[in-house]
Amino acid sequence: MRALVSTSELVDLLNDSRPPVLLDVRWALGGPPGRESYMAGHLPGAVFLDLDADLAAPPGAGGRHPLPRPEDLREVLRAAGVRGDSTVVVYDGGNGSVAARAWWLLRWAGHSNVAVLDGGYAAWQEEGRPVTTEVPRPQRGDIDVRPGGMPTVDADGAAALAKDGVLLDARAPERYRGETEPIDPRPGHIPGAVNAPFTGHLDQHGRWLPPAELAERFRSLGVHQGAQVGAYCGSGVTASSVVLALEVAGVTDHENPALLYPGSWSEWSSDPARPAATG
């Protein structure tokens, strides 16, 4: 299954005899809470999953959004109705950054048949497609979670990648440069990392750029097909969209995906012994 699906493609999937499991993962750092947005309206049949409670472990030494324990993620996905043979489509408010985290987690868990809705809820609503406030009661799924389907690096691995490969920092330029740091312990970036703001994946309408344009963007950042490449951000969430964008661009593929540093800057910056570059 392609990593991105359009709204019209999703309509076709929903009309299939075996429709996909829909996951609504809307979340914003400054609020409002995603569940409030979900209760106000969502795609028919969509199940809400919360980034903080369902798609991450509690914050701690591993950062603000550490990977969830496999057994916890298995319970969340089964309660949402995900089966081992399910097609899963995930969406967020629009830019795909949080949906990419859910996409990445399902792939990490060994479930390959998953895609992100291009444009998310915003695109669906703009096109006048049906929404509802009815909360579904899905039949319990049977998915197994087998960690390791997507590669990760720890802090030392991220440092090595920044030196010997290409490590992309998905945060806003002012955070990368260290001009501001609203949430993590220290400003700056991992030495050698290249700034690749996740918002650069989108066009002016909030849709993902075509593969050729994404590939050109990554080439301009020093990433070429076959290169050793990875991504990080503030807490490992928006960096997932860089991993997704690299696959959409054809720079990486399903068999050889980009690396993700899950702890990201929130973990790195909590250790005063680790250097922080600025500028």
Give pLDDT, residue 224.
Answer: 82
Give pLDDT, residue 30.
Answer: 82
In this structure, is residue 274 part of a structural domain? no
Rounded to whole angstroms, how far apart are CA atoms 215 and 126?
28
Give pLDDT, residue 93.
Answer: 97
Q: How many residues does the chain have?
A: 279
105 and 184 belong to one structural domain: no
- Residue 233 among the catalytic residues: yes
Contact indicator for 20, 86 with CB cutoff of 8 Å: yes
Number of domains in the chain: 2
264 and 159 belong to one structural domain: yes
Per-residue pLDDT of the chain (279 residues; tens, 9 = 90+): 899 999 999 999 999 999 999 999 999 888 889 999 999 999 999 999 999 999 999 999 999 999 999 999 999 999 999 999 999 999 999 999 999 999 999 999 999 999 999 999 999 999 999 999 999 999 999 999 999 999 999 999 999 999 999 999 999 999 999 999 999 999 999 999 999 999 999 999 999 999 999 999 999 999 987 779 999 999 999 999 999 999 999 999 999 999 999 999 999 999 999 999 999
Among candidate residues 114, 146, 84, the one with its CA nearest the CA of residue 244: 114
Last residue of a domain, one of 126, 147, 180: 126
In this structure, is residue 141 part of a structural domain? no
Helices (H) and strands (E) in the chain, counts: 11, 9
165 and 207 belong to one structural domain: yes
19 and 89 belong to one structural domain: yes
Give pLDDT, residue 76.
Answer: 98
99 and 165 belong to one structural domain: no
116 and 198 belong to one structural domain: no
187 and 239 belong to one structural domain: yes
24 and 97 belong to one structural domain: yes
Tokens 């990490």, residue located? 108
52 and 107 belong to one structural domain: yes
Contact indicator for 132, 273 with CB cutoff of 8 Å: no
Q: Any residues with CB less than 8 A from the CB of 209 and at least 6 apart, and which? A: 201, 202, 203, 217
67 and 105 belong to one structural domain: yes
Contact indicator for 171, 238 with CB cutoff of 8 Å: yes
In this structure, is residue 150 part of a structural domain? no
In this structure, is residue 189 part of a structural domain? yes
CATH value at residue 75: 3.40.250.10
In this structure, is residue 71 part of a structural domain? yes
Give pLDDT, residue 1.
Answer: 85
**Strands 21-24 and 4-5, how do they pair?**
unpaired
110 and 162 belong to one structural domain: no
Q: In which domain, by residue range, is 248 found? A: 155-268
Last residue of a domain, one of 126, 146, 181: 126
103 and 183 belong to one structural domain: no
Tokens 């290169």, residue located? 227
Give pLDDT, residue 29.
Answer: 83
In this structure, is residue 136 part of a structural domain? no
In this structure, is residue 241 part of a structural domain? yes
Contact indicator for 60, 66 with CB cutoff of 8 Å: yes
Give pLDDT, residue 227.
Answer: 79
In this structure, is residue 276 part of a structural domain? no
Last residue of a domain, one of 126, 141, 174: 126
Instruction: Give me the catalytic one of 73, 109, 196, 233.
Output: 233
